[in-house]
Amino acid sequence: MAEVIVDRKLPLQASEEHNEYLHHDAFRPVDKEITATDLSSIGDIPKDIDGVYIRNGHNPVYQPKSGRYHWFDGDGMVHATTFADGKATFRNRMVMTTGLAAEMEAGRGLYPGLRDGFEAEEGLKNSSGTDVVLHNGEFKTLFSRCGQPYRLAADDFRTLGPDDFKGSWERGISAHSKVDERTGELIFFNYSFNSEPFMEYGVIDKDNRVSSVTAIDLPGPRLPHDSWVTENYTVLHDLPLYWDSALLALGKKKLKFDRDLASRFGVIPRHGSGGDIRWFECEPTYMLHTVNAWEDGDEIVAFGFKQLTPIPKIPRETPSARVQNYFLSFQFNQPRLTEYRFNLRTGKASERIVDEQCLEMPNINARYLGIRNRYAYNTMAAEIPYFLMSGIQKFDLQNRREVDRYELPKGKYMGQPVFSPRVGGKDEDDGYLISYVSEANHAEIYIWQAQTLGDGPIARIPLPQRIPGGSHAYWGNGSDIREAQMRQTANSH
- Say whether pLDDT at 474 is over 80: yes
Q: How confident is the model at residue 234 (pLDDT cuts 50, 70, 90)?
A: very high
| Long-range Cβ pairs for the range 419-422 (8 Å, 24+) | 419/363, 419/364, 419/365, 419/366, 419/377, 419/450, 419/475, 420/49, 420/51, 420/53, 420/83, 420/475, 421/365, 421/367, 421/477, 422/46, 422/48, 422/49
Q: How confident is the model at residue 252 (pLDDT cuts 50, 70, 90)?
A: confident
Q: What is the mean pLDDT of residues 74-98?
A: 98
- Say whether pLDDT at 121 is over 70: no
H helices of 77-165, in order, are 98-106
**Quick check: bond before 462 cis, omega within 30?**
no
How long a stretch of residues is the chain? Answer: 493
Distance CA 305, CA 238 (A): 15
Where in the chain are the domains? 3-492
Q: Is the pTM of this model over 0.85?
A: yes
pLDDT in tens, 310-321: 998 888 888 888
E strands present in 192-262: 199-204, 210-216, 228-229, 233-238, 241-243, 255-257
Write down the architecture of domain 3-492 according to CATH: 6 Propeller (2.120)
Which pLDDT belongs to residue 251? 75
- Say whether pLDDT at 385 is over 80: no
- Say whether pLDDT at 193 is over 90: no
Distance CA 329, CA 317 (A): 18
pLDDT in tens, 437-452: 999 889 999 999 999 9
Q: How far is CA 449 from CA 37, 199, 405, in A?
A: 24, 40, 12
Q: Please provide the average confidence, as pLDDT, over all residues in the chain.
A: 94
Bigger pLDDT: 432 vs 144? 432
Amino acid at 451: Q
Which pLDDT belongs to residue 493? 66
Phi, psi of 400 (to 5 degrees): 55, 55
Distance CA 473, CA 392 (A): 14
Which pLDDT belongs to residue 117? 67
Distance CA 111, CA 143 (A): 16
Amino acid at 41: S
- Select from 99, 109, 26, 38 the least CA-distant residue to 69: 109
439 dihedral zone (left: phi>0; alpha: psi -120 to 50; beta) = beta
E strands present in 297-396: 299-307, 335-343, 349-355, 359-363, 375-381, 389-396
- Lowest mean per-residue pLDDT among 12-26, 42-56, 154-168: 12-26
pLDDT in tens, 22-77: 999 899 999 999 999 999 999 999 999 999 999 999 999 999 988 889 999 999 99
Which pLDDT belongs to residue 118? 61
Which pLDDT belongs to residue 119? 60
pLDDT in tens, 323-378: 888 888 999 999 999 999 999 999 999 999 999 999 999 999 999 999 999 999 99
SS3 of residue 88 by DSSP: strand
Distance CA 153, CA 100 (A): 18
Q: What percent of the chain has pLDDT over 70?
A: 98
- Lowest mean per-residue pLDDT among 49-58, 191-200, 266-275, 276-285: 191-200
Which pLDDT belongs to residue 67? 84
Q: Are 355 and 395 in contact (CB under 8 A)?
A: yes
pLDDT in tens, 418-435: 999 999 999 999 999 999
Which pLDDT belongs to residue 387? 83
Q: How many CB atoms lie within 10 A of CB 450?
A: 25
* Helix or strand run (H / E) with residue 37: strand 32-37
Q: How far is CA 210 from CA 173, 186, 339, in A?
A: 12, 9, 31
